[in-house]
Structure 1
Amino acid sequence: MVGLFWIAEGDVYVGAKPVGLAPGVRLTPEGILALGDRQTGMWPWEDVHALAIDDVPVRSLKRNVGVAVDLVLTVGLGGGDEAPTMTVRLTDAEGAETELTAYTAAAIGYSQKEYDLSRELLSRLTEGAGSLLTTLTAMSDWGRRHEGGSPRAGEREALLREWAAGAG
């Protein structure tokens, strides 16, 4: 996991990699792929004018206390174990918006810095084919080299900055 992205076997997802029929969003060189039993579709990059993300849990002291209380109540009362979701919003050239759902990958939320850098990176992906292919290739290559783990915060932030700048 790097920022809001889950990179596995060279595949890049916004949020957690979906399992089974769970909702998810995969970024491919061809376009954005909606996954899950309640959302399907493929949006070619040339049709995507803007890409944003909402409802992202960002860490704060207040949020950490709230998550801890929710965890105690959920586990203690035998509640559900479903992760929080976020909304990926695509806007086409005509201004029409499509909202997709993805599970978050960070149990207690993302740092503000990783959230901001991830948003910058998502924006970069809509700048054109050169930026898109360079960025997704760098992310995929990193994922293939670093299977099975998430780097520390400083390295994650450095990777996000590098990818957003277009360096590979």
Structure 2
Amino acid sequence: MAMVGLFWIAEGDVYVGAKPAGPAPGVRLSPGGVVALGDGQAGLHLWEDVHALTVADVAVKSLMRQVNAVKDLALNTVLELATPLGSAWGDDAPPLMTVRVAASDGEHELAAYSAAAVGYSQTEADLSRALLARLTEGAATMETTLAAMSQWGRGWEGGSPRGTEREELLRGWLG
């Protein structure tokens, strides 16, 4: 499993944001369409009906976000050590992103958790948004792009690639 831009690629599956677990919200990009996962948003939006695919509320990496992440980690560590039952400090859930699907039956807003702990680089966010737009350009484009992403995911071993490698992959998938 690996994060590349706004995408989480697990073997052959491509998700926008983190791969959901249990009832958590998520969005999977399948060859058939955009799949809404999790409590309250199950459904399939067929590619032939999707006119636009965008993402809002993307956490972009900043110095302040990184400082806050380190501060929260340190505070949670101290509280875990100081209290016998652990702490209930803060919300450990990552930020939510909004995936907007414009389809022939209307606009749909889906939720997906961010996969980046301190946010995405602006370049990765921009390239990912361009890639999402590219997926709606037609069946042939969508099929070849998703196939390339899935093939990479099936062959990749290890964690997420470094930032420059991720940007290079996104540029390659954009063609």
Q: Same fold (TM over 0.5)?
A: yes
Aligned length: 164
The equivalent residue for 2:84 is none
Match for 1:81 among 81, 84, 92?
92
Match for 1:32 among 34, 42, 54?
34
Tell me whether 72-81 or 9-18 shows the greater mean CA deviation: 72-81
Identity, % of aligned positions? 63
Query: In the TM superposition, what whole-angstrom CA distance separates every residue of 1:106-155 from its partner, at most 9, and x where no partner exists?
Result: 10000011000000000000000011000000000000000442111111
The separation in 1 between residues aligned to 2:157 and 2:33, in whole angstroms, is: 23
Equivalent pair of 1:8/1:147 in contact (CA under 8 Å): no
Pairwise CA RMSD: 1.5
User: Based on CA coordinates, which of the two structures has the bigger radius of gyration?
Assistant: 2
Matches within 5 A, 1:1-168: 1-72=3-74, 76=79, 78-79=88-89, 80-93=91-104, 96-165=106-175
One-letter amino acid of the counterpart of residue 120, structure 2: Y
Equivalent pair of 2:45/2:103 in contact (CA under 8 Å): no
> Which consecutive unaligned segments of at least 5 residues does structure 1 have?
none
Report the Cα offset of residue 60 of structure 1: 1.1
Q: Scaled by the length of structure 2, what TM-score is found?
A: 0.88
Report the Cα offset of residue 20 of structure 1: 1.1
Report the Cα offset of residue 72 of structure 1: 4.5
Q: Scaled by the length of structure 1, what TM-score is found?
A: 0.91
One-letter amino acid of the counterpart of residue 99, structure 1: E
> Which consecutive unaligned segments of at least 5 residues does structure 2 have?
80-86
